[in-house]
Every structure is written in C-alpha cells, then in structure tokens.
Copies of this chain bind each other. A is one copy, B any other.
C-alpha cells in the first residue's frame, strides 16, 4: 500500500458544502505518483511511460473541507502490459470514496503497449491488496 496525505482545498468544495465529486479523480491521480515513480524514477514528463485506459469512482460518504484525507493506493491486478490501481479516500476514520484505475505501460514513440518490466512487477507485488 502507498499512502498519501492531502489537505482538501476550500476551492475544491462546491455549493453543496462538501468536496465536489470531480476532485476525487484529481486526488487519485496525484496519489498514483508513487506508481509512476516505479516506471519513471526521474518523473520526467518527456519520458512518460503510462497511459490511463479507464477508471471508475464510487462515492460512499461526503468528503469534507477542514480535515486531511489519506489516500490509500494498492496494485489490485498485474497483467502483461497493464495493471489496476485500487484506491481509497479516508477521512475521520470513514472510507468516503473508492475507485480503480486501469493503466497501460506504453511507449509513446512506438505508440504501442509494452510488457511491464520484471523489476517493476517485483516492486508492485509489495503493494497488493492484503488478504483479509
């Protein structure tokens, strides 16, 4: 599991008084930096190696301004050239949002997917979802 603390910004609230739904995909993307780093240790955008194929988000409770949230990121599936990142947003002991992003290891020059390197897979396996 990777964890990341985020302080909700007042501008991320909406007129209903809590964090707008469209903010969560942003927090989740920002929290996948730990995964990007496995592929791109230098984090150079010119050498980016992942593309997002799809993602889903489910809302379980309101996320509020005024208290930090913890984003928990797991590697929930490892395929040949793609993988899933399952993420949760926790605030005040409550899981308010969860979601899964499917990412593809991609060569922007060749415009094709590529197998995930073995040394990355080894690291990914340390961040799986623990058996309950």
Interface positions of A (Cβ within 8 A of B) = 7, 9-11, 13-18, 20-23, 25-26, 29-30, 33, 36, 42-46, 48, 51-59, 65-66, 108
Residues of B within 8 A of A29 (CB): 9-11, 21-22
Residues of B within 8 A of A15 (CB): 10, 13-15, 17-18, 45-46, 48, 65
**Number of copies of this protein chain within its complex:** 4
Residues of B within 8 A of A66 (CB): 42-44
CB distance from A102 to the nearest CB of B (A): 9
Residues of B within 8 A of A65 (CB): 15, 43, 45
Bound state CA distance, A58 and B22, in angstroms? Answer: 15
Residues of B within 8 A of A33 (CB): 7, 10
Known: A11-B21, A11-B22. 12 other contacts (CB 8 A): A7-B33, A9-B30, A10-B14, A10-B29, A10-B36, A11-B30, A13-B15, A15-B18, A22-B26, A51-B59, A54-B56, A56-B56
